[in-house]
Structure 1
Amino acid sequence: MTPAQLADLIRTVLLDAVASGDVALAPDDVPEPRVERPRQREHGDWATNVAMQLAKKAGTNPRALAELLAARLSDADGVAAAEVAGPGFLNIRLEAGAAGELARTVVEAGAGYGRNDALAGHRINMEFVSANPTGPLHIGHTRWAALGDALVRLLRASGAEVVPEYYINDAGSQMDKFGASILARATGGEIPEGGYQGEYVTELARKVLDERPDLPELPHDEAVAVARELGYRLQMAEIEQTLADFNVHFDVWFSERELHDGGAVEGAVDRLRTQGHVYDDGGAVWLRTTDFSDDKDRVLVRADGSPTYFAADAAYYLSKKDRGFGEKIYLLGADHHGYVNRLKAIASCAGDDPESNIEILIGQLVSVAGARMSKRAGNIIELRDLIEWIGTDPVRYTLARFPADSPLALDGEKLREKNLDNPVYYVQYAYARTRNASRNAEEHGVPRDGFDPAALDHPADAELLGALGQFPETVAHAARLREPHRVARYLEQVAAAYHQWYGQTRISPRGEDPVDAGHTARLWLNDATSQVLTNGLDLLGVSAPERM
C-alpha cells in the first residue's frame, strides 16, 4: 500500500462516515488527507492529522473524530492497527503484506515511479544560464546550470510541460568589442578599451584566421564584423558543448539579435503604449514601472532613438507570452536583485499577473576552495575546468543539495574523495550496492518469481519501505517549491535506510541455507530501492553507476 493509496483509504472511510451520518460534514468538505511518517517509528508506519483538520467543521472534538476513524480503519484490509495519539493524531500500522506491496509497485513502475500530476496543466518557459557569448562559462554560471536543469526535470516529473530556454545576448556594443578583441589578437593590435582579455580570445583568433586567412587585409569595420560573427559562432559552440558535458540541455536557444532584426523591440514599445503605461519625456520613451512597485520608471528608447536593454527585456517577455507560456520562470544570479521588480513590472504592463505569470529565482554566489583561476580565460574559474578537475556528478549533486538562496563554498578536493563522507559518493555507492546485491542473489539462485510481500516482516523492511513510499510526494513537493535540494537530501535518507537494512537482513542465503520466500521478497525490496535511487539521481542529472 502506497501513501497515496492509504490517503485514499482514509478519505473513503471519512466519506462513508459522512454518508452514514456519523460525521456531520458535506462530502465536498472532505479533503485528500495527508499522511506522513511519524517521527518516532514505534508510533506506527504512517500518521495523519485529518481529524484535527476537520473536527471544528464537523462540530466535534479532534480526538473523538480520530477515535471514530480509528475504529473504522482498523477493520480495513491491509491495516493492522489504527490508534489515536495526543489531541487527535491518527497513527496507522500496516500489515506486512500491505506494506510490502510497495516493493512490487516500485519495481513494476520502473522509471515512472515518483512521477506525479501535481503540476499537470502548467505550461512553463524556464530561462537559465543565458551567459553572454563573449567568453567561456565559469563558476558564476555553474549553480544555475545545475539547479536549472534539475528543476526542469522535477517540473516535468510532476506533470508540467516545460521548455528550458537559453537567451543569447548577441546584440549590443559588447559584441562589437568582442569582435574587435579577436581582430586585435589576430593582427597583433591592441585590445580596445573595455575589450576582452584571456587566452581564449587568442584561441578564437587563431581559429578565425584558419577560416578567414584574409582577415588582416579586410577593411577594419568589415574585419571586425567577420571576427565578431565567426568568434560568436565558435564561442556558442563551446558553450553548448560545455553544457552538454555538464548534462544540461536546452530546447530553445533564443537570439536577442533576432528580436532587434525582426522588429520585435519596436513592436514591444508600441504594444506597451497601447496598454497605457508608456510616455515620452525629454526625447526618450519611458515605461511607467513605478505603477507596479519599481523604484523608478525605466527608459525604453533613448533620446538618440536607440533602444535600451530594458526594451529588449520587454520584447523578450512578450515573445514568451505570444508563444503561449502562461508561466515564465527566470533564474538569475545574485547580482540581479534589481531585475526582480522591473521584470514583474513588464509583466504587469503587458497585462499579466506578476504573482502567477512570472517567477524570478535568485541564486547566491558559489566559491571553490583550492581552485586555480583559468589560464585560458584569465581571472575566472571555467566550468569546463571544474568538470575536468572534480567531475560532473560531484559538482551537480553538491550544488543540488543546498537551497539556491544560500551562499555556498565548495571544497574541490573533498568532492573528489571516494568515501562515505562524500554525499554524492554515499548515494551512488548505495545504488551500486543494490546492483551488486541483485547480481549476487541471481548467482545464489534467488528467484524473482513468487514474490510474497508478507515475507517483508522485519522492522528494517518496514523502515526502508516507508522511505521508498515518500518518493512521489518528495518529488511533487520539491517541484512545487522549486527546491531540488529536497530530492538530494531524501536520497541520502534512502541510502542510509538501505545500508542499515542491508546489514540487518539477508537477500542471499548464507552458506548452504536454502532459498526461502524472505530472500525473494528482499530481492524485490532491494530492486525497488535501486529504482528509487536511480530515478532520484536522474532528476538531479547525476549518473547511477552499476559498480564502484
Structure 2
Amino acid sequence: MTPAQLSTTIVDGLTALVEQGALTLPDGVPAEVTVERPRQKGHGDYATNVALQLAKKAGTNPRSLGELLAEQLRSSEGIGGVEVAGPGFLNITVEAGAQGIVAADIVAAGERYGHTETLAGQRVNVEFISANPTGPLHLGHTRWAVLGDAVGRVLAAAGAEVTREFYINDRGVQMNHFADSIIAAALGEPTPTDGYAGAYIADLATAVGEASPGIFDLPADERRTAVRAKAYELQLAQQQAQLDAFNTHFDVWFSELSLHESGSVPETLARLKELGHVYEQDGALWMRTTDFGDDKDRVLIKSDGELTYFASDTAYYLDKRSRGFDRCIYMLGADHHGYVGRLRAMAACVGDDPAQTLEVLIGQLVKILRDGEELRLSKRAGTIVTLEELTDEIGVDALRYSLARYPADSPLVLDVGEITKQSNENPVFTVQYAHARVSSLLRNAADLGVEAASHPELLTHEKEGLLLRALAEFPRVVASAAELREPHRVARYLEELAGTYHRFYDSCRVLPMGDEETTDLHRARLLLVQATRTVLANGLDLLGVSAPERM
C-alpha cells in the first residue's frame, strides 16, 4: 500500500463517517490527505495529522475525531492497526500483504513508476543557462545545466507538459566585440578594448578561417559581419554539443535577434502603449513598472533610439505566453536578484498575474576546489574553467549528481577529490553502487534460474517492511520535488534508499545457498530487489545521471 493508496483509504473512511451522520464537514471531505512515514520506530508504518486539520471544522476536538476515524479505518482492507497518539495523530500499521504488493506494482509500472498527475494540464516553460554565444560554457552555466534540466524532468514526471528553452543572446554590442576579438587573433593583433581573450578565441579564429577561406581578407565592415555570423554559428554549435554530452537537452533554442526580425518587439511596444503603461521622458520611452512594485521604472528605448534588453525581455515573455505556456520559469544566476521585481512588474504591465504565470529561481555561486585551491573563472581574462574541462576531470555523473543534490539557493563548494572518490563517503558512488549491486544480484538469480514472483504476504521481516515503505514513498518525493522546484529531494531520497536496501540485503537472504531449494520467499524477495532497481534507475534518470549495471 502506497501513501497515495492509504490517502484514498482515509478519504473513503471520512466519506463513510459523513454519510453515516457520525461526522459533519461543512466544506466537504478533502480530496486527499497527507500521509507520511513516522520518524520514530514503533509509531506504525504511516502517520497522518488529518484529525488535527479537520477537528475545528467538524466542531469537535482532534483526539475525538481521531478515535472516530481510527475505528472506521480498522475495518478497512489492508489496514493492520490504527492508534491515536498525542493530541490526535493517527499511527497506521499496514498488513504485510497490502504493503508487499507495492513491489509488484513498481515492477509492473517500470520506467513510469514515480510519475504522477499532480501537475497534469499545466504547460510550463523552463528557461535556463541562456549564455551569450561568445565563449565556452563555464561552471556557473554548469550548475544551471544540471538544475534546470532536473527541474524540467521532475515537472514532466509530475504530469506537466514541459518545454526546456535556451535564450540565445545573439543581439547586442557584445557580438561585435566577439567578432573583433576573433579578427584581431586571426591577424595577430592585440585584443581590442572590451574584447574577449583566451585560447578559445584563437581556436575560433582558426576554425572560422578553415570554414570560410578568405573571410579575413574581406573589407573591414563586410569582414566583421561575415566573421560574426560564422563565429556565432561555430560557438553555438559547440555549446549545443557540450550540453548534449553533459546529458542536458533543450527543446527550443530561441534567438533574441529573431524577436526583432519578426517584428515582435514593435508589436510589444504598441501593446504596452494601448495598456497605458509606457511614457516618454528625456527623449526615452519608459515602462511604468513602479506601478507594480518595481523599485524604478525601466527604459524600453533609449534617447538615442536604441532598444534596451528589457524591451527584448518583455517581447520574449509575451512570445512564450503566445505559445500557450501557463507558467514561465526563469532560472537566473546569483547576480540577477534585481531582475525578480522587474520581471514580475513586466508581467503585470502586460496584463498577467505574475503570481500565476511567472516564476524566478535564483541560484547561488559554485566553487570548485582542487588540492584546496579554487579553480577561478574569468571569460574575458581567458583564465576560464569550461564545462568541457570540468566533465573531463570530474565526469558527467559525478558532476551532475554533486550539483543536483543541493538546493539552488545555497552557495556550494565542491572538492574534486571528494566527488570523484570511489567510496561510500561519496553520495553519487553510494547510489550508483547500490544499483550495480542490485543488478549483480539479479544476474546471479538469472544464472541460478530463480524467477521473481509476487507473494506479498511473505514479506514480513522488519527490513523488508522498511524497504517497501521507502519504495512506496518515491512518487510523493517526485511530486514534492516538482511542486517545490527542488530536485535535490530526489537525490537525498536515493541516498536514503540505498542505505535501506543495503540493510535489507544484509538481513534478508535473497537467493538460495548451495543445494537449498528455491522457495516462494526467495521469489518474493527477488521481486523486491527488482522493484528497488527500478526506483534507483528512475530516480537517477530524473537527475540525468546514469544507472550502471557494473562498477
User: CA contact under 8 A between 1:83 and 1:90: conserved in structure 2?
Assistant: yes
Which whole-Å CA distance do the structure 1 matches of 2:80 and 2:147 have between them?
Answer: 42
Indicate yes or no: 2:407 matched with 1:403. yes
User: Quick one: which amino acid aligns to residue 380 of structure 1?
Assistant: I
Q: Which moved more, 1:208-217 or 1:526-535?
A: 208-217
Which whole-Å CA distance do the structure 2 matches of 1:37 and 1:547 have between them?
Answer: 32
Indicate yes or no: 2:237 matched with 1:234. no
Q: Which moved more, 1:215-224 or 1:324-333?
A: 215-224
Instruction: Tell me the residue number matched to 1:177.
Output: 177
User: CA contact under 8 A between 1:18 and 1:27: conserved in structure 2?
Assistant: no
Shift of 1:478: 0.8
Within 5 Å, give how 1:531-546 maps onto structure 2. Answer: 531-546=534-549
User: Quick one: which amino acid aligns to residue 100 of structure 1?
Assistant: G
SS of the equivalent of 1:136 reads coil
The match for 1:501 among 488, 504, 513 is: 504
User: CA contact under 8 A between 1:15 and 1:27: conserved in structure 2?
Assistant: no
Shift of 1:457: 0.8
Cα deviation 1:298-319 (Å, max 9, x = unaligned): 1111111111111111111111
Indicate yes or no: 2:389 matched with 1:385. yes
For these two proteins, the number of residue pairs brought into alignment is: 547
Shift of 1:293: 1.4
Instruction: Tell me the residue number matched to 1:481.
Output: 484
SS of the equivalent of 1:180 reads helix
Q: What is the RMSD computed on CA atoms of the aligned residues?
A: 1.5
TM-score, length basis structure 1: 0.98
User: Quick one: which amino acid aligns to residue 390 of structure 1?
Assistant: I
Q: Which moved more, 1:510-519 or 1:397-406?
A: 510-519
User: CA contact under 8 A between 1:478 and 1:487: conserved in structure 2?
Assistant: yes
Shift of 1:375: 11
Cα deviation 1:109-158 (Å, max 9, x = unaligned): 00111000111111111110000000000011111110000000000000
Which whole-Å CA distance do the structure 2 matches of 1:214 and 1:52 have between them?
Answer: 78
SS of the equivalent of 2:23 reads coil
Within 5 Å, give how 1:75-154 maps onto structure 2. Answer: 75-154=75-154
Indicate yes or no: 2:472 matched with 1:469. yes
Which whole-Å CA distance do the structure 2 matches of 1:478 and 1:143 have between them?
Answer: 17
Percentage identity across paired residues of the two chains: 54
Within 5 Å, give how 1:22-41 maps onto structure 2. Answer: 22-26=22-26, 28-41=28-41
User: CA contact under 8 A between 1:115 and 1:158: conserved in structure 2?
Assistant: yes
Which whole-Å CA distance do the structure 1 matches of 2:323 and 2:30 have between them?
Answer: 39
Which whole-Å CA distance do the structure 1 matches of 2:134 and 2:27 have between them?
Answer: 61
Shift of 1:27: 7.7
Instruction: Tell me the residue number matched to 2:67.
Output: 67
Instruction: Tell me the residue number matched to 2:309.
Output: 309
Moved over 4 A (4+): 371-377
Which whole-Å CA distance do the structure 1 matches of 2:85 and 2:294 have between them?
Answer: 51
Cα deviation 1:477-521 (Å, max 9, x = unaligned): 110000011110011111110010010001101222211111101
Indicate yes or no: 2:469 matched with 1:454. no
SS of the equivalent of 2:84 reads strand
Which whole-Å CA distance do the structure 2 matches of 1:348 and 1:356 have between them?
Answer: 11
SS of the equivalent of 2:310 reads helix
User: Quick one: which amino acid aligns to residue 434 of structure 1?
Assistant: V
Which whole-Å CA distance do the structure 2 matches of 1:512 and 1:42 have between them?
Answer: 38
Indicate yes or no: 2:228 matched with 1:225. no
User: Quick one: which amino acid aligns to residue 483 of structure 1?
Assistant: E
User: Quick one: which amino acid aligns to residue 312 of structure 1?
Assistant: S
For structure 2, the 5+ residue unaligned runs are none
TM-score, length basis structure 2: 0.97
